[in-house]
Amino acid sequence: MPHVDIKCYAGRTYAQKKILAAKITRDIAEIFETSEDSVSIAIHDIPPENWKTQVWDKEIEPNRGKLCKEPGYDYDD
């Protein structure tokens, strides 16, 4: 039962989010050899000014050793 939780800057349309969710769903189902019905996806809009505090500090930095794909940017304190 894969669940994907995506956070991105605000500004994408609902149609763009639906296309992304459909593509991710297909790939997960194929790679994990599961049904597309078992996949759920949430997409959260985060204002750019809140990215560091809401995403970087809480989810990216503390989980650096667990990330399958690390970001190509960093924050200097």
Helices and strands (H and E) in the chain: how many: 2, 2
Catalytic annotation, residues? 2
- From residue 40, alpha-carbon distances to 2, 6, 77 in Å are 7, 11, 35
